[in-house]
Amino acid sequence: MRKKKIMIVGANRSGKTTLAHALNEDTSPVKRTQDIIYGKRTIDIPGSYLESPWMYKHIIAAAQDASEVLFLVDQSSKREMYSPGFANVFLCPVTGVITKSDKAPENETFCISQLKMAGVSEPYFKVCVPDGSGLEALIQHLSKFRR
């Protein structure tokens, strides 16, 4: 049986690929792409898939290889990205991650409301990948779902 991966979903420029690189312990330069990237431990979904509801079926299909789905919300932006209850379509656990937690702390409440509206339950993890804050707690949480 194949080892399941962690699927990362979020808006364009929300830090998906940067987080995927950190989780994969990949030190190569981050490159933007419009393709689903299957990493060592992750499945990185392009933000354009989330912005086009007709692409949701591809996100849901890719989740068949996931042990957990991460819904990212960028704290530096007040952009609504998730359809109400979207997290409920996945058969595996969905975890909320607030990225760029070092920026715009006044947006934290907005980020939490976005995750709740999407159907993601607490706990939510606040991370800042460049300085590493919050990563250890997220990695420890994710280790529970690795098969």
Structural domain spans, the chain: 5-142
**pLDDT tens-digit map of 115-141:** 999 999 999 999 999 898 999 999 999
Q: What is the pTM of this model?
A: 0.92
Q: Given a cut of 60, is residue 19 above it in pLDDT?
A: yes
**pLDDT tens-digit map of 50-87:** 988 899 999 999 999 899 999 999 999 998 889 999 99
CATH number for the domain whose boundaries are 5-142: 3.40.50.300
The DSSP code sequence of the chain is -PPPEEEEE--TTSSHHHHHHHHTT--SPP---SS-EE-SSEEE--HHHHH-GGGHHHHHHHGGGEEEEEEEEETT-----PPTTGGGG-SS-EEEEEE-TTS-GGGHHHHHHHHHHHTPPSPEEE-BTTTTBTHHHHHHHHTTT--
